[in-house]
Amino acid sequence: MKNNSHVSSIISIARYLRGVTNCLMVSAIATLSTLAIASSALAERREVDIRLPVNQDEGFTVMTRRAEILARSAAQRTFDREVLVSDVAVKVTAQSQDQAAIILQLIVSRDEWASRPDPKVWATYFPMAKALMGIR
């Protein structure tokens, strides 16, 4: 009669390894689920305030275009640098020596921006800034 003790040792090691593998798989799934929930819970809105110096030699239309360019680059830069940011709010304020008025505010989600990175689509304009700032 042959000694089958080495076979039973291999079987018990295989059962042990199967149990360890199952534990590791459950742990990995739990960890990934926790990370997914945590990252969505950490998603946040970033607010960016930009001051745009008033140049009396340029008209309000030119100043608005400059504000759009600044808002666009601020939104893109924020989404590029901060992966957990889900929404960006960019406020561009015209600033003279003694006065300030909001020209535009851009509020956009990451998904919206990815589908259409155009500040004209997502911005709210404040045309009263022209009169408040005395810009032609």
- 101 versus 14: the higher-pLDDT residue is 101
Quick one: which of 65, 136, 48 has its CA closest to 103?
Answer: 65
Residue 43, SS3 per DSSP: coil
Length, in residues, of the chain? 136
pLDDT over 80 at 18, yes or no: no
Return the H-helix or E-strand segment holding 104: strand 100-109
pLDDT over 80 at 7, yes or no: no
Residue 12 pLDDT: 75
Quick one: which of 90, 88, 89, 93 has its CA closest to 128?
Answer: 93
- 57 versus 114: the higher-pLDDT residue is 114
Residue 28 pLDDT: 65
As a whole number, mean pLDDT of residues 42-53 equals 90
The band of 112, judged by pLDDT with boundaries at 50, 70 and 90, is: very high
The band of 29, judged by pLDDT with boundaries at 50, 70 and 90, is: confident
pLDDT in tens, 55-100: 888 889 999 999 999 999 999 999 999 999 999 999 999 998 889 9
Residue 63, SS3 per DSSP: helix
Residue 1 pLDDT: 52
As a whole number, mean pLDDT of residues 26-49 equals 71
